[in-house]
Amino acid sequence: MDISFPNRISWLSGVAVIGLLTAGCGQDPIPEPALSAASESPVTGDTYVEASLGDPSRLNPLLASDSASGSVNSYVFNGLVKYDRDLKLVGDLAESWDVRRNGLEIVFHLRSNVKWHDGAPFTADDVVFTYERLVDPKVMTPYGSDFALVKSVTALDDHTVRVEYKEPFAPALESWGIGMVPRHVFVGKDFNTHPANRAPIGTGPYRFVQLKTDEKTVLAANPDYFEGRPYIDRVIVRVIPDSSVQFLEMRNQSIDTMGLRPDQYRAYDAFFMNHRKFRYPSFSYTFFGFNLTRPMFHDVRVRRALAMALDKREIIDGVLMGYGRSATGPFPPSSWAFDPTVPEVPFDPGRAKALLAEAGWGDTDGDGVLDKNGSPFAFTVITNQGNKMREQTALILQAHLARVGVRVDIRVLEWSSFIHDFVDKGNFDALILGWNLGRDPDQYLIWHSSQRGEGRYNFVGYDNPETDRLWEQGRRTFDLDQRRAVYQKIHRLLAEDMPYIFLYYPESLPVVHRRFQNVETAPAGIGWNFREWFVPWSLQRYRLAS
């Protein structure tokens, strides 16, 4: 569960790790259990056990691109700013800040009582160092371009940092939510391969204790945390690569939280005797992405035809079971950039066939599969293991495209191989994946043509000068209405140009064990006040030996 925002944008590896920073909320009406002891005052103790589908491989907020790592990093690291319960940016490591010269300059006033987990003081030098790594071409970070417009970052004194921008950059403040890394640990050593990336030292509410690959990560409460020690003693993130197994473990009370699939959410109430269910729209979307460097997908008519051949209603009703809605573009409905007037792609297999014929695809050999110049219209769609909804979506897509004469093979791959061997290297025809988004609508990292290349987020190879220009403009515009106009234009352009088929905006359906008190839903979802959660002494399940 994300308790702050570790990265502005990250992979969504599966239902289990959907970020919980979401707008709008609603709690399912479950009768309050007898064990709710609201009047008790907070006490320390107990352990919070979560599960992740993938191994948190990069415990460094600059290098992490997957939500499993992001989830752990969010306990260990802090940014300069963070979102509060109402999704307002507030200070985190920065106590306050001044924005000067129309946004060209931000001065952060840092907290003075912050210590790294190894006892060293957190100072302005760490901020400067973090920035230098972000823009260092040797550092394998996907977040560099958020800082490309920075002219300089200067430490004015130990607790004051001045950031100057070359041009106005609207997401500037949000971008400083990225976790700060300790200069004294990394300085003079290789940043990408430093052992601290597997044993992180941060400033956050929890200290790193242990990482066992493909098994678990253990974190312990930081007694010196600048906002005060969190009540929950330990956080354990267990790697359970299958959501069905997670579900069984949840029923068995061996994990305290997980993101449910819609069918699990709908299961018998008795399954949730010990847990509370929550439901709210997530700030994410799931898409079908074309590898645009493949010649068969160059023609927009072909991409449009494939979108028209897909009856999305079946996915919304059958897979999401109504817990989510059809997507029209890259902004979820709860974002201010969302344009409600962008139309859905109509389901129309007849038009789809006509468009394909127009693009030169016909079934000349009568085998039921379209062909052109002797090669059949066949491709492989890949997705990750553990996310049943994506597998089902792939199967539905396969069936629907077969009806218009397109042959689709499906490969379901293990998460880290999926990301590192296939997605990062552009080694795929098409894929089904999801984006976990930041609050700011800037998705330059995903769509700008400069963000193509290995390990970057524009892995579909989208290159459109017009949207490039608009993404740049959106970053330079501070006026909310003008910015909205820019993003609504992008929304429309992407919906027409279809580098992805935007599939759906899923809802977050998390459960949390009932013994945890102070779990509160807000526009930010749940988890935003994790530090204040506690378990009354009599209900604590795990006690430390010492």
- Could you say whether residue 392 binds another protein (CB under 8 A)? yes
Residue with tokens 């069984």: 248
Nearest approach, Cβ of residue 382 and another protein (Å) = 12
Nearest approach, Cβ of residue 58 and another protein (Å) = 24
Part in contact with another protein (CB under 8 A); list of ranges 136-144, 204-212, 260-268, 295-303: 260-268
Nearest approach, Cβ of residue 412 and another protein (Å) = 5
Please select the residue that binds another protein; options are 123, 243, 282, 477, rule is CB under 8 A: 243
- Could you say whether residue 128 binds another protein (CB under 8 A)? no
> Rounded to an integer, what distance in angstroms lies between the CA atom of residue 212 and that of residue 124?
33
Please select the residue that binds another protein; options are 111, 277, 388, 456, rule is CB under 8 A: 388
> Rounded to an integer, what distance in angstroms lies between the CA atom of residue 228 and that of residue 218?
20
- Could you say whether residue 378 binds another protein (CB under 8 A)? no
Number of residues that bind another protein (CB under 8 A): 27
Q: Token pair for residue 115?
A: 């210590």
Q: What's the full length of the chain, in residues? A: 546
Beta bridge partners of 150: 165
* CA 75 to chain CA mean position, Å: 15
For 393-425, give one letter per residue: b (16+ CB within 10 A) or e.
bbebbeebbeebbbbbeeebbebbebbeebbbe
Backbone angles phi, psi at 43, to 5 degrees: -130, 160
Please select the residue that binds another protein; options are 394, 460, 490, 519, rule is CB under 8 A: 394
* 127 vs 431, beta carbon nearer another protein: 431
Please select the residue that binds another protein; options are 113, 244, 364, 538, rule is CB under 8 A: 244
Nearest approach, Cβ of residue 393 and another protein (Å) = 10
Nearest approach, Cβ of residue 411 and another protein (Å) = 7
Backbone conformation region of residue 240, classed left if phi is above 0, alpha if psi is from -120 to 50, else beta: beta
Q: Which of residues 449-488 bind another protein (CB under 8 A)?
A: none
> Rounded to an integer, what distance in angstroms lies between the CA atom of residue 349 and that of residue 406?
12
Nearest approach, Cβ of residue 245 and another protein (Å) = 9
* 107 vs 267, beta carbon nearer another protein: 267
Spatial CB neighbours of 43, under 8 Å, sequence gap ≥ 6: 231, 534, 535, 536, 537
> Rounded to an integer, what distance in angstroms lies between the CA atom of residue 181 and that of residue 218?
20
Nearest approach, Cβ of residue 545 and another protein (Å) = 35
CB 473 within 8 A of CB 486: yes
- Could you say whether residue 396 binds another protein (CB under 8 A)? yes
Please select the residue that binds another protein; options are 74, 264, 384, 517, rule is CB under 8 A: 264
Nearest approach, Cβ of residue 377 and another protein (Å) = 18
* 265 vs 287, beta carbon nearer another protein: 265
Burial-class residue 544 by CB neighbours within 10 Å (0-12, 13-18, 19+). Answer: exposed
Nearest approach, Cβ of residue 208 and another protein (Å) = 32
Q: Which of residues 404-443 bind another protein (CB under 8 A)?
A: 409-412
> Rounded to an integer, what distance in angstroms lies between the CA atom of residue 70 and that of residue 353?
43
- Residue 465: how many other CB atoms lie within 10 Å: 8
* 395 vs 480, beta carbon nearer another protein: 395
- Could you say whether residue 271 binds another protein (CB under 8 A)? yes
Please select the residue that binds another protein; options are 399, 466, 482, 543, rule is CB under 8 A: 399
Please select the residue that binds another protein; options are 90, 156, 209, 395, rule is CB under 8 A: 395
For residue 136, give the amino acid letter: D
For residue 147, give the amino acid letter: F
Nearest approach, Cβ of residue 384 and another protein (Å) = 11
Spatial CB neighbours of 96, under 8 Å, sequence gap ≥ 6: 108, 109
Please select the residue that binds another protein; options are 24, 168, 318, 362, rule is CB under 8 A: 318
Beta bridge partners of 109: 96, 160
Helix (H) or strand (E) holding 324: strand 324-326
- Could you say whether residue 356 binds another protein (CB under 8 A)? no
The site for another protein (CB under 8 A) is made up of 243-244, 247-248, 251, 263-264, 267-268, 271, 314, 317-319, 385, 388, 391-392, 394-396, 398-399, 409-412
